[in-house]
Amino acid sequence: MSGIRGVHIESRLYFSPRTNVLPYVEIRIAKQEDHDDLAEVFNRQSEMHTDVHGEFFIAEMIAGQSDSKKALVAQVKDKAVGLMEVTKDLDIHMLHQCFKLESYDNLLKSDFMDAIRKRREALRLEKLKTQEESRKEQLRKLKEETIKCNIISQRVGLQEFCKAKEAVILKQIDDAMGAAESSKLSREKVEQILDDILSGFALCQPSNYFLENPTDDTERILNSTLL
């Protein structure tokens, strides 16, 4: 091999034909007369023993050949040394459970798998969108509950309540002043009027939602003893 660029002058190449190491193997359709040779091979080299799967399971496999299922035999000289059954009737679900076939499109048509991947991606994005909407709704509810606990909002609520009752309040004051013996109302009368007006007002309190979904909102001002 001298004279070949990149090869050392003392390099040697040794060649051994495959037939000197491994015998010539012929592949053909299995026949019933292969049973004895194959049974010996299976019992010696395979976990599929005839005493477990039946004495004639190899013969049944060979006899059960059809247009969609064939049994192939590897033959060395005149002796059958191997058996393979091939079929068009595949249990794809079983193969998916036993092997990782994602790299091979799960043995399905590529356009079908593309459609499945697009659907999976759409479902993933839809799930993320739903989760984000749920998160925003939870924050909205927490903010709403936080506002209920804010002393300022309580005062605003009282103002709005009194504003809505303004006409009733003015009428009661006018009626009380008209019935009074002097131009001034007594303290007791004023307190009675206010008690009557505020009897329909209730302080907003957080619901169980607030307690079941705690928040770290630093802006909230809690006051359990308002007013």
3-state secondary structure the chain: CCCCCCCCCCCCCCCCCHHHHCCCEEEEECCHHHHHHHHHHHHHHCCCCHHHHCCCHHHHHHHCCECCEEEEEEEECCEEEEEEEEECCCCHHHHHHHCCCHHHHHHCCHHHHHHHHHHHHHHHHHHHHHHHHHHHHHHHHHHHHHHHHCHHHHHHHHHHHHHHCHHHHHHHHHHHHHHCCCCCCCHHHHHHHHHHHHCCCCCCCCCHHHHHCCCCCCCCCCCCCCC
- pLDDT value at position 222? 42
Question: Do residues 120 and 207 both lie within one domain?
Answer: yes
Listed residue (80, 45, 214) closest to 139, CA to CA: 214
| Dist CA 203 CA 194 (whole Å) | 16
**Shared domain check, 81 and 137:** no
Same domain, 8 and 77: yes
- Report if residue 109 sits inside a domain: no
Same domain, 11 and 79: yes
Q: What is the model's pLDDT at position 127?
A: 94
Assess whether 21 and 71 both reside in one domain.
yes
Range ranked top by mean pLDDT from 45-59, 130-144, 163-177: 130-144
At 17-42, the pLDDT tens digits run: 877 888 888 999 999 999 888 888 88
Q: What domain count does the chain have?
A: 2
Are 80 and 123 found together in one domain? no
In a domain, 110, yes or no: no
Q: Residue 166: inside a domain, yes or no?
A: yes
Q: How confident is the model at residue 211 (pLDDT cuts 50, 70, 90)?
A: low
Give the pLDDT of residue 165. 79
Q: The domain containing residue 56 runs over which residues?
A: 1-88
Residue 155 belongs to a domain: yes
Return mean pLDDT, the chain. 78
pLDDT at 1: 43
Res. 220: pLDDT tops 60: no
Domain-located, residue 78: yes
